[in-house]
Amino acid sequence: MTDVLIDSCAGFLTGGLALSAVWGLFWSAISLIGLSRGTCGGRIVFMSLVGGFVPLALAITLVWWMDNVERVTSVFAVGLMGMPAVLAGLWLRRMPDGQRAGTHLAAGVRHLRENLLGAHRGCGGCHDGHDHRTCR
């Protein structure tokens, strides 16, 4: 019984770390594009890389440890799906204004992405010959 609990908790933790790593690497890609465009600084790139690689290293370490003790079982795999299931449930939760929490999250991500990438609303958008500094 203890092994089942350890396996499922380790799977749940690994699933959370994997999601966190993917989220950090997603923002790393956006911040690197922003850095190349000159719309965000090196500190943002550094922090997003840290936010991606630290949980990735922890997840790899945990899976390596689980493999060494030969506990990568079906219970571990079920636990691995636990954190995505929790996040899906939170995504569908209704907020006080009646909208789903996922809608608010997507709007916040879109807003932050536009700020980091220097998306311009008033000048017709970005293209190769566009000078980003004149639209701010």
Residue 25 to residue 62: CA distance in whole angstroms:
19
Which sequence spans correspond to the domains of the chain?
Answer: 2-135
Which CA distances in Å does 23 have to 1, 55, 99, 128? Answer: 33, 10, 23, 28
Q: The pTM is what?
A: 0.74
pLDDT score at 80: 83
Check if the beta carbon of residue 118 is closer than 8 Å to that of residue 127: no
β-partners of residue 100 are 94
Cβ atoms within 10 Å of 12's Cβ, excluding its own: 19
Per-residue pLDDT of the chain (136 residues; tens, 9 = 90+): 788 888 888 889 999 999 999 999 999 998 898 888 888 889 999 999 999 999 999 999 988 887 766 667 788 888 888 888 998 898 899 989 888 988 888 888 888 888 777 765 555 555 555 555 555 5
